[in-house]
Amino acid sequence: MIAASSLAVPLASGGTRAVPRLIFPVVGPVTYTNDFGDPRGRLPHQGNDIMAAKKSPIVAVEDGKVSFWTSSASAGCLLYLHGRSGTMYEYIHLNNDRTMKNDNKGKCVAGTAYAKGLKNGARVKAGQPIGYVGDSGDANGIASHLHFELHPRGGRAVSPFRYLKRSRALLFAAKRGATVSLTLKGKLVEADSSSQTLSMRLTRLSTSTGLRLKKLSRKLTLELLPDTLVTDYYGNDLSLDDLDSLTPATAIKVTTTGAPATLAAQLGSPLALTTLFVSLADPS
């Protein structure tokens, strides 16, 4: 894992505001510690390593402009985000594998390291997909992770840890405005047909755009529509009122309506997602 001082780092221009509250840079289950400053060869660690599954989506932590770095043996595939606040962020060791194995057959290009369709110099919105977790550069063969650096006003690196701890984690990643529907699996917390709400503890998620996440643990509150379809274990129709009497922790699957992705929806904010279909899991 490289230190930023080993690279020619372009500085963010302008901007004097403080580092804003960030969107967490990786979507899906992660682990990380405050490893800033730990020994890394000749130089101390200049960021935090966020451990995550290979090819997990990486997103912009704030609005800004991206630039690619594709020729560093130590960093591998790298992306700079020049935030609107004046803070510069480095996303290091992005994916360079074509398969889920460590084949090293990919290049630092959009669709492999960077988000599909993303161009060098593009302006992006907070929460927009910009890359994929990998192990390129001197992380080759090490557990896949994102080395994330934070440079206020484009200056020296500071520990990202406290900013990551107070950041907002996305439920899913999608380009702002793209039409997306979700399939959510988990356990019922509570349903209230009179207030048209359903709360669940989410364990698995898939999207119409192909994202699949598991080993989740997150409470969501969704909007029930009057015409939301409800079925029992065997496919028999139920009414919305029947949801009210279900035992908490009942296994359910929810499909949301297809709608343009908003930041509120990506964050899983209360009532930002609307149910199209609710089914009870097979008791067997």
Give the per-residue pLDDT at 120.
97
String of DSSP letters for 62-126: SSEEEEEEEEETTTEEEEEEEETTS-EEEEEEE---SSSS------SSBTTTBPTT--TT-EE-T
Calculate the average pLDDT of the chain: 91
CA distance between the termini of the chain: 47
Domain range annotation of the chain: 4-165, 179-280
Q: How confident is the model at residue 47 (pLDDT cuts 50, 70, 90)?
A: very high
- Distance (Å, whole) CA 279 – CA 118: 37
Threshold 0.75, pTM exceeds: yes
Which CATH class name applies to 4-165?
mainly beta
- Distance (Å, whole) CA 143 – CA 123: 30
**Pairing outcome for strands 48-52 and 57-59:** unpaired
Q: What average pLDDT does the segment 224-236 reach?
A: 93
Give the per-residue pLDDT at 284.
54
CATH (residue range 179-280): 2.40.50.320
> Residue 180 to residues 132, 164, 276: CA-CA distances in angstroms?
19, 27, 13
Q: How confident is the model at residue 45 (pLDDT cuts 50, 70, 90)?
A: confident
Q: How confident is the model at residue 161 (pLDDT cuts 50, 70, 90)?
A: very high
